[in-house]
Amino acid sequence: MALRRIAGAPTSSSSFKSFTTVLPLAAETASASPSYLAHHLLDEFSRPRASRDGERLRRLAAHLTAPAVESVIARLPSWRHALDFFRWADEQPGFRHSCYSFNAMASLLRRRQPAHLDRLAADALAAGCPMTPGALGFLLRCLGDAGLPDTASRVFDSARARLSCTPNSYTFNCLLDALAKAGRADDAEARLQEMLVKCGDGSVDKYTLTSLLQCYCNAGRPDDANDVFQRMSQQGWVDEHVLTMLAVAFSKWGKVDGAVDLVGRMEVLGMRPSERTLSVLVHGFAKQRRIDKAIEMFDKMATYGYVADLPMYGVLIEGLCRQKQIGKAVKIFEVMKSSEVVPDVRLLKNMIEAFIHEGDFDIVGPFIIENAGKLKPSDVTTLYNVVLQGLVNHGQVEAAYQLLTSRLRGVQGISDGLTVGAHVFDIVQDVKPNSDSFNIVVCGLCKVKKLDDALALVKDMVGFGSKGKLLMFNDLIHELCNLDRLDEGYKLFNQMKDLGVIPSEFTYNSLFYGICRRKDPNGAFDLLREMCTNGHKPWIKNCTEMVQQLCFSGRITEALGFLEEMLKMGFLPDIVTYSAAMNGLCKTGEVN
């Protein structure tokens, strides 16, 4: 820089600043070249606003130029710094942004800051910044990238009057590109007609039709896209980009065979599909459940030397597992591991679920052991939970119970040959169960009415330091109350609250049902008050049960008192409950 060539000029940022602040104004202005300005403006605007030298900025502002501003915008560390500088420059007397400084700022905002870019476009129109067709086209493309097709159209329509720019075929193409990205097919067609009127038939070229093709692809109009493609083919304008675009669109539309044909056409023409294209097709075909074609594209990737990543292996393996092609899934899994791609817990979980669905429990243990080394302990626990759920789903609740209790023993290392039901498991014993583990097994025990085992497991769980899940408490309390074990249900209810598990409306109504079966109005009133306090409502069927039980026992007065107390608490019984009370009154002769 100019000042560094002066003998003895300091080189550090702080000392350099102090040197320039005492430099005579004449010497500084003599060195006010674009590069000089850009260097020192960068120095100031790379700092926090509070630490900038106001006096120095005022001197630099007097020599501000559009080239210097454009240079600074492009070199500042972030769009925030750049926008701050852009606005500061706009406020300086005698300075006016050029189309190039506007576009430098637009380039930074185009990807992630649509609101700021929208305002920038409005500022350009308000300032009447003259633009060349090339500069206007660049701004339109930026607006398209930001998803602002309406703003792009507004800028285009105002170009002649506000920006001193007469649109040409290039700017029309840029506008079509912006509309295409948003899939605004009707607008694109209207603009194409406008282009033909103003620029002539010869203005439609390869780039025009490419934008129109993209527009129809994004809008989901395959017939129109095919028409444009045929027109481009007749003109000899089909290239790798066009074929790729259409192949990906065909994949999204479920036209799998058409997409494969386009890839084949690319290869016949000597074009090599990109890694990204083939990757998109693999994922698209797998999503369409055409796993055969997905594997075909996967094999093509290998032929071209492209390297598959974990998401690609995952989508193939999951697709094969979904179609019950477990053998092929295992082969691709082995290829993946041989390529040193490490499986994640989601992929392993899906494979284990597939093994279990086929009843292959005995291979699950070794499979977990083989792949547990690079997983977090919590992820390994997730895999064992899949096994627990699989055993429960297959009606092997006792085996699930044995597997969970074996993991509670705290044996370190790997247990070889643990017999669980009819299966033998190799288990990483130092990986502990979590709340989900207990939830799965307790709920399973409740389904087969093994409530004593479930209660014992809850006790073990608390001793283990886990608080469990609401679902398991709800299931167990519900089953206890169904079997008239209300006292145990209440004990468990209080225990879950002590553990910090908040009861739900289902929890309360399970207890309420147990109380109603016992014909205990006072206990019901106490529970109803607590429910009211916590914002829960009693289920009417339980209220009806209480009234019926009291009436059948000849306790008509208590039944009526129960209804009256419910009303006082703000709970309105329904016609069934009142009918039960009326029926009881009639049976006892209390017709009046």
Q: What's the pLDDT score for residue 421?
A: 52
**Spatial CB neighbours of 243, under 8 Å, sequence gap ≥ 6:** 262, 263, 265, 266, 271
Q: What's the pLDDT score for residue 536?
A: 85
Angle among Cα 54, 58, 62 to the nearest 5 degrees reads 165
Mean per-residue pLDDT of the chain: 86
Specify the DSSP element, H or E, that contains 425: strand 423-428
Q: What's the pLDDT score for residue 410?
A: 53
More confident residue, 39 or 414: 39
Residue 13 and residue 43 in contact, taking contact as beta carbons nearer than 8 Å: yes
3-state secondary structure of 423: strand
3-state secondary structure of 133: helix
* CA proximity to 484, closest of 443, 447, 519, 527: 519
Mean pLDDT throughout 274-283? 91
Q: What's the pLDDT score for residue 567?
A: 73
Residue 76 and residue 42 in contact, taking contact as beta carbons nearer than 8 Å: yes
Q: Express each pLDDT in 501-528 by its tens digit.
A: 999 999 999 998 898 888 787 787 788 7
Q: Express each pLDDT in 234-277 by its tens digit.
A: 999 988 899 999 999 988 888 888 889 889 888 888 888 889 88
**Spatial CB neighbours of 30, under 8 Å, sequence gap ≥ 6:** none
Greatest CA separation found in the chain? 119
More confident residue, 568 or 159: 159
Provide the 10 A C-beta neighbour count for residue 112: 10
Q: Express each pLDDT in 420-459 by its tens digit.
A: 555 556 666 567 899 999 999 999 999 999 999 999 999 9
**Spatial CB neighbours of 42, under 8 Å, sequence gap ≥ 6:** 72, 75, 76
Number of helical H runs and strand E runs in the chain: 33, 2
Inter-CA distances, 536 with 129, 495, 512, Å: 64, 20, 12
17 pLDDT above the threshold of 90: no
Alpha helices in 408-555 (DSSP H): 435-447, 451-464, 470-482, 486-498, 505-517, 521-533, 540-552
52 pLDDT above the threshold of 60: yes
**Spatial CB neighbours of 321, under 8 Å, sequence gap ≥ 6:** 329, 350, 351, 353, 354
Q: How confident is the model at residue 365 (pLDDT cuts 50, 70, 90)?
A: confident
Q: What's the pLDDT score for residue 419?
A: 55
Q: What's the pLDDT score for residue 427?
A: 60
- What is the b/e burial string over 54-66, where b = at least 16 CB atoms within 10 angstroms of the residue's CB? eebbebbbebbbb
Written as one letter, the residue type at 578 is Y
- Residue extents of the structural domains in the chain: 505-592
Inter-CA distances, 5 with 10, 16, 18, 72, 399, Å: 10, 13, 17, 22, 84
Q: What's the pLDDT score for residue 219?
A: 92
Residue 20 and residue 28 in contact, taking contact as beta carbons nearer than 8 Å: yes
Burial of 8 (0-12, 13-18, 19+ CB in 10 A): exposed
577 pLDDT above the threshold of 90: no
Mean pLDDT throughout 358-374? 87
20 pLDDT above the threshold of 50: no
Homologous superfamily of 505-592: Tetratricopeptide repeat domain (1.25.40.10)
283/315 Cα distance (integer angstroms): 7
Q: What is the residue whose two structure tokens read 């000392």?
A: 15
Q: How confident is the model at residue 366 (pLDDT cuts 50, 70, 90)?
A: confident
Q: Express each pLDDT in 178-235 by its tens digit.
A: 999 999 999 999 999 999 999 988 889 999 999 999 999 999 999 999 999 999 999 9
Q: What's the pLDDT score for residue 428?
A: 61
Mean pLDDT throughout 344-367? 91
3-state secondary structure of 418: strand
**Spatial CB neighbours of 333, under 8 Å, sequence gap ≥ 6:** 313, 317, 343, 351
Phi, psi torsion values for 432, nearest 5 degrees? -85, 150
Note the pTM of the prediction, 2 decimals: 0.69
